[in-house]
Structure 1
Amino acid sequence: MTLENVLNCVGGTPCLNLALSSGHVFAKAEFMNPSGSIKDRVAARIIELAIQNGSLRPGMRIAEASSGNMGISLAMAGAAYGYRVTIYMCESASIERRNILRLLGAELVLTPPEQSVGGALEALMADAESDPDVFLVNQFGNKENIAAHYNGTGKELWEDMDGDIDCFISGIGSGGTMMGVGTYLREKNPEVRLIAVEPQGAAALLGHKPKQHGIEGIGDGFLPEIVDPDFIDSIIEVTDSQAVENALALARRKGLFVGMSSGANLAAAALVLKDYPEWKIATTLPDRAERYFSTQLFLNKAV
C-alpha cells in the first residue's frame, strides 16, 4: 500500500496494555503518529477541512499559538500542503521543540515565559488582526479539535478495549482530547469516569493563576474555550518530579520513548488505582521523548 500524503499516516495508533502491578492501564500510543504526537490528529482534521471548505486558500499563512506539539503538527501539515506556518510559543518551551519546528520550515515567534501560552495566544491574535491572509487555527476554541478525538481517538479506544472502560484520564492542554474522547465514551457508557490531569499549582480547572512548570503540553495557564469543567468528574494535580519519574518508568520498564505528559497521565492513573484497583483505565501517551532532551526528563540524576 502506498500513501499520497504524510497526513494519511495519522491515527490508528496501537493501544498498549501497560500491565501495572497495581492494576490495568491501557494507553493509546499517540507518539507513533508521524510527527510524534497526538496533535497530529487535530492538525490533520482542521487543515484538511479548511482546504476542502475554502477557508484555507493558496497563498494564505497558517498561524497558531502552541506549547509545542500542535505547532509541530501544523508545521508538518503546512509542509505537506505547501503553506507557510507561523507558530507563537513561549520561551520556556524546550529547544528541541523549537528546532523541530524550524526543521519543518515554520516561522517561530517566542513570547515571555511568565505569560505562558496565554501570552503566545495574545501575540497570535494581534497577528491575525493585522493580516487578512492568516488562517487562524484556534485549537483552544475550534470544535474540530474535539471532533478529531471524538471520531478518532475515542472511537479507537472503545474498539481497542471492547468497550470495557471504567475511566479515562487525560492531561488538559487545549482540552480537545478530554472533551472528544470523553464525549464518545460517555455516549457508549454514561458511567465512564473522566479525570483531568494538570500540573500542581497550575490547574486552570481549579482556578489557579498561570505558573511555570515542567510538564510541557498541559497546564497552559488558562481554561480553553472548548473545555466544559462540569463535564469532568475530578482533577488530579501532578508534580514535575512525578511526571519525570513515571516517564522514566515507561522507558525502563516498558521500552516506551515518551515525554513528560505521558508520565503525568501514568502518575494520575496510579493514584486512581489506589482507590479503585479493579478499574480498567484508558489514557494516552501523547508524545515522544526526543523533544525533551534539554529538560529535566534527561537532566534528572536518574538518567
Structure 2
Amino acid sequence: MSNSNERNVYFGPDSLKKYFDPDCQPPLPLVELPEHLNPFFHDGVRIYAKMMTMHPANNVKAMPAAKVNGRSALNMLESSVVPNKTNTIIEYSSGSTVISMSMIARVMHGVQDTRAFLSNKTSDAKLKLMQFFGLSITLFGGPSQPEPADERGGIQSARRMAKESDDIVNPNQYENNNNWQSHMRWTGPQIFKQLPEINVLCAGMGTSGTMTGLGTYFKGVKPSVVRLGVCTAPGDRVPGPRSFALMRPVEFPWKEAVDTIEEVGSSDSYTLSLKLCREGLVCGPSSGFNLQGLFQMLSKRKAEGKVSELAGPDGVTHCVFLCCDLPYQYIDEYFQKLGAAEFPAIRNERLTKVDLHRYDEAWERDALEVLPQVYGSPRPLAQTPLSEITLKPQHRVLDLRKPADFQAWHLPESINVPLSSLGPHTVSPFSDPAVLEAQWVELEQTFGDARLVSDLGSHHVLVVCYDGNTARVATSVLRAKGLDADSVRGGHHALRMYGIGSETTGPEVSVSADCPASKMPIASTVSVSAVPP
C-alpha cells in the first residue's frame, strides 16, 4: 500500500480518479474511543473506530470499486467493463454499494447510467438519496435481503440482464471476489500499518466481503488477531448486515475468515450509533452494530475472566471495529427504533403545520414609500384634501382590524376584512405561536375563497393591521396564492404618525364569502387628517 500524498491534494486532469484511488490517499482515520465510550477501558482494553465513512464516497462499499495496483483498473468493474462499449451498470444493492459504483463508474470509466435494483421495503429517504446521486431505481418484492441464488429476486434479475446485453455490466457484489479482495489490498494493510498492536478485529457480515477480506489478510500477517464477525439477530434487521441464516448461501470464503460470531439487534445498533454521533464520530447504524458486537464478545470474555488472554505483549487489548457508513439516510429509522425520549423536544412544534409560505423583506413597505404608489395626489397625502385622494387603478387596500376600529379610522377607500383572531390588544403572532397558528389558519380560510382571490388577482393589494405583524402574515398568504401584495410596516400605528386616514360615519364595509371585494361599497370618509388622539 503506497502512500506518497501526505498533503492530501489531488492535481491534474485525472484529479478525481486519484481522489477515489486508495493508493493516492492518506490512510483513513483510526480513532480511539475515549474512556467514557469504552466500558472495558479499566480492563485494559482500547477500542478504535476505523472511519471508512471518510472515504470520498462516505462508506466502506467504495473500496471494492477502487483502483488496483495503481493502474486504471477497477476491482469490481474492470473485469467486465469494456471501454467504449459498456453503457450501463446494474447492481442489486441496499444503497451504499450502488451509490459508490455510480460515482466511480462516472469518474473512472465515464459510464453515466447506473441502475439500482433493490427491495420495495427500502425507506423513502434512501430511495431519494439514490435519486439524488442520479441512479435509476427498480424495486422488487419479496424478502428485503434475498438469497443471492434466488431466481425470483433482484440479484438474479440484474445478472440475467447483463448476460442478455453486451453493453450492460452487473458487478454482482455477492459473487465477485474482487469485493473481498479489495479489503486485503487496502483496508487490512491500512489498519495493520496504523496499529500493528491490533489484537481484535470486528466487522459486520452482509455480503461478507469486508470481513472476508480483512479476516483473510490478518490470518496471513498476524494470526493471533481474533476476527469477530457480526450478524443481525434472528428476525431483526439492521441496514447492510445479514442474519447468520442468510449467510449460508454466500459463496465468499467467509467461514475461514472469522473466529467467532456475535448476533446483534437493531435497538442496540441504533443506540450506539446515536451515541457515537453525538460524541463526534458520525456514523450509521451498522457502525453501532459492529461496536455492539465487540461489546458483547468482550462482556462474555470478561465474565469468563479471559479478557487478558486477548492482550498483546504490552498487556493491552487493542480492538478495531469498522464505521461503515453515515446516519443521514436512516434518520427516520432512528426515531422509529429508539422513540421520542431519545431526542430533544421541539419547542413550538405546532408551527411545523402552519405559516408555511415564504416571506420577503421587500413585501413589508414603509408607509411614506408605499402610499404614494397606491393613492393618487399631486401633494403629500397628509396635506391633500379628501376629494383629491383616490386609489390608483388596479389597487386595493385591505384592513384586517375590527369593524369598530376600522369605522373610527382607516385609509381612504380601504376594505375591511376583519379577523376574529385579531384585536387591538392581540400580541404579535411572532411572539406567541398560538396567535400565529390561529391567524394563519384564518387567513388561509379567508383568502381561500376563489371569488375573492379572483377579484384581487388583477390588483396590487396593500394590507394594513394594528401593528403590521398580522398584515405581514397575510401578505405571505396572499403572495403564496399568486397575488401581488405588500403590507405596511408598523400598520395603523405607523399610519397615524403621518396623519393619513379618516373618521367615518358611512356604512361598515367588510368582506364575506358571499360578497367579494369587487361588489363592496366604498366606505365614506369625512376628513383626511382627522386622527383620533
TM-score category by the smaller chain? 0.7 to 0.9
SS in 2 for 1:169: strand
Q: What are the equivalent positions in structure 2 for 1:1-303 lying under 5 Å apart?
A: 1-3=9-11, 4-10=14-20, 11=22, 12-19=27-34, 20-22=38-40, 23-45=45-67, 48=74, 55-60=81-86, 61-80=88-107, 81-83=109-111, 84-118=113-147, 119-161=153-195, 163-201=196-234, 213-219=236-242, 221-222=246-247, 223-252=249-278, 254-274=279-299, 275=301, 276=307, 278=311, 279-296=317-334, 300-301=338-339, 302-303=342-343
Pair 1:37–1:298, CA change in 2 (3 A): farther
Pair 1:244–1:49, CA change in 2 (3 A): closer
Count of residues in Structure 1 that have an aligned counterpart in Structure 2 = 291
CA distance in 1, matches of 2:237, 2:80: 39
Following superposition, the deviation at residue 48 of structure 1 comes to: 2.6
> TM-score when scaled to structure 1?
0.87
Deviations 1:220-268 (A, max 9, x none): 734421133143211100001010111112112x312211100001101
Instruction: Name the counterpart of 1:204.
Output: none
SS in 2 for 1:126: helix
Q: Which has the higher contact order (CA 8 A, sep 6+)?
A: 1
Larger radius of gyration: 2
CA distance in 1, matches of 2:59, 2:16: 14
Show structure 1 runs of 5+ residues with no match: 202-210
CA distance in 1, matches of 2:229, 2:262: 6
Q: Which has the higher helix share?
A: 1
Pair 1:117–1:66, CA change in 2 (3 A): farther
CA distance in 2, matches of 1:197, 1:147: 19
CA distance in 2, matches of 1:264, 1:241: 9
> TM-score when scaled to structure 2?
0.51
Pair 1:15–1:109, CA change in 2 (3 A): same
Following superposition, the deviation at residue 115 of structure 1 comes to: 4.9
CA distance in 1, matches of 2:173, 2:136: 18
Please report the RMSD computed on the Cα atoms of aligned residues, expressed in angstroms: 2.3
Deviations 1:69-101 (A, max 9, x none): 101101111232321111111122233332222
CA distance in 2, matches of 1:192, 1:14: 20
CA distance in 2, matches of 1:50, 1:271: 34
SS in 2 for 1:219: coil
Pair 1:282–1:176, CA change in 2 (3 A): same
Letter in 2 for 1:255: G
Deviations 1:5-38 (A, max 9, x none): 4453344211111131313111210111112101
Pair 1:215–1:115, CA change in 2 (3 A): closer
Percent identical across equivalent pairs? 22
Pair 1:143–1:97, CA change in 2 (3 A): same
